[in-house]
Chains A and B, each alone.
Chain A
Amino acid sequence: MTYTAWIIVTAALVGLSCGLVGVFLILRKTAMMADAISHTVLLGIVIAFLVTREVSGSAMLVGGILAGLVTAFLVQWLHSLRVQHDASMGIVFTTLFAIGVILISTSVGNAHLDVQHALMGEITFIPFHTITLPVIGQIPQATALLMIVFLVVLFFIIAFYKEWKITSFDPTLAASLGIPVMVMHYLFMSLVSVTTVASFDSVGAIMVVAMLITPAASAYLWTDKLAVMLVLSGFFGVISAVAGFYVAAWIDTSISGSMAFATGIVFLVSFIGSPKHGLLSKYIRPGVHGRIVWRVKR
């Protein structure tokens, strides 16, 4: 495959995984979880550095994922102690981030250690870093990693579809039906953490945060059905990846930046044009016999 194709495929995988996970983040009103994790991974990579004394490589990915899991668990735990969800996110990520900053300036010294270089990947150079897998052959490492992540996400969403649905919309009902709500919460947060950190490692922070939130928020404007929302959200993620790449090629700029920008455009179009909640639909409604009636605010 060409370099361009690999980049688009990888970005599309990010769009799909993040789009699916993002739907539940939006429904559970925990949209900024990815942003929180993007800060706490600092602690993970600092500890990974202290253990291995390397500033890049797979140890950083493992450290990042562990930090993501710790974040997810602490947030969920604080929330279960009746701290508001957004507040518990804010508390956990600032505290863990601060510990990372303190560790860097006390025990790491002057090493070139920052999240940007140690963990965050760069989508532009994905095609040049390949590994050879059995059956598939030569494939960029990031693409292989994201393929696995996507399959894991897809598996868990399909396997527990009913449980996700009920716990997301009505936790009390779920509990009364005997669904282990807490376990589902922790499982979901682990899924979020693995998806975000693996995507950070492959394509960088800005694009992941955008892909997690914006396509799902756009899909929510088009439908109230969970299944439709999941499909739309994944689709918007892919569309943004493709459109973003060509915008980057057109004005020769940062690829991940323009993909994140494209998600914003998809949202804007949805916000204006969606039939249910869009701006336009508030003014234009089809009349009784299919004629368009302009509704004017008085």
Chain B
Amino acid sequence: MKIKKWGSIFFLSLFLLLAACGDNDGTSADTSNAETIHVVTTIAQIGEPLSIIGGDKLTVESLMGPSVDPHLYNPTQSDISKVAEADIIFYNGLDLEANMVEVFKSISDEKPVLAVGETLPDESILIDEAGAIDPHIWFDINLWQQALDAAVEELKEYSPENAELFEKNKQAYFEKLDALKQDAEKLTEIPEKQRVLVTAHDAFGYFGHMNGLEVIGLQGLSTEDEVGISDINDTIAIIKEYEIPAIFVESSINQDAIQAVIEGAQSDGINVELGGELFSDAMGEPGTEEGTYVGMYKHNIEVIYEALNK
């Protein structure tokens, strides 16, 4: 009998607790009026440019905020209502959001869903020696313009009455991207032999492809790959051969492996320094210059140029 008494007290209190916090049913994210189009993107690299192009006609939310590494994204409760209330969804595709693809395919029966990366022609997608697709397409500004263009076309189709505005804003934004390409030109001033970018994981394939840099990633495409001893030794051999002055860490990834390379190289009598921090999968904090696509890209150009042009 005592068990029953104790038990009922316990359950009663649990139920009271439940009842107390059971009112707010995930509707709190609904702050905007019905006029604007709700756009939800996975990565902020899509969302931030679209919020500029869309102006006040769009409410853009990114599931993975600017400073979140998409490989390590953990959804929160409010992401349910973000996805549920979205009018249109954009994601990168090319296996970047592997575990969400089935969800997006299912949602696409009900509302427009577009994988911007998969609108690009196949021959422009980089494939590594093992046959895996490299999803980090935003680092090639030309490709990213095409991808954003596909997203804007989708928006125009969704909202024909705003098509002209979107087109105008897109032209203005693409001019900024063209200026960014001009900026990137200066990477070609780096002595040819030193145009090698050594980083923690293979995110910069497209960056190197576009800007004429050879890219060596310690870790492979996924940030969860293990770094092997041979990876570190191979990288040190390359640094020695090409006399690379600096190697780089990434904002969203543990720096130990890169530090190991630097220490290993120094014990071999090679002087290589830490070139600085690059933004790879994640952009900077929202509200800062590096939290925007253009600012993030500019930051990377500056850091690489400063460190390698010696």
Residues of chain A having any CB pair with chain B under 8 Å:
2-4, 7, 55-57, 101, 104-105, 108-114, 116-118, 120-122, 124-125, 127-130, 222-223, 239, 242-243, 245-250, 252-255, 257, 269, 273-276, 286
Contact = CB atoms under 8 A, between A and B. Distances in A.
B21 A239 contact: no
B287 interface: no
Contact of A109 (B7, B99, B129): B129
B129 A55 contact: no
Contact of A4 (B3, B25, B76, B222): B25
Given A110-B221, A239-B14, A257-B74, A246 B106 contact: no
Given A239-B11, A250-B24, 18 more contacts: A2-B25, A7-B80, A57-B102, A105-B225, A108-B130, A109-B132, A111-B132, A112-B222, A114-B222, A117-B98, A117-B99, A117-B222, A128-B106, A242-B18, A249-B26, A252-B78, A273-B6, A275-B2
Contacts of A118: 98-99
A284 to B, nearest CB: 11
Contact of A124 (B18, B80, B96, B202): B80
Contacts of A249: 21, 24-26, 77
Contacts of A223: 3
A55 B95 contact: yes
A112 B18 contact: no
B34 interface: no
Interface of B: 2-3, 6-7, 10-11, 14, 17-18, 21-22, 24-26, 71, 74-81, 83-84, 95-96, 98-103, 106-107, 128-132, 135, 202, 220-222, 224-226, 228
Nearest to A242: B18
Contacts of A104: 225
A113 B99 CA distance: 11
Nearest to B95: A112
B130 A125 contact: no
Contact of B80 (A3, A120, A257): A3
Interface centre among B11, B80, B84, B135 (most CB of A within 10 A): B80
A222 B7 contact: yes
Nearest to B83: A128
Judged by DSSP, the binding face of A is: helix
Nearest to A116: B224
Nearest to B25: A4
Contact of A125 (B75, B98, B129, B131): B75
A104 B224 CA distance: 11
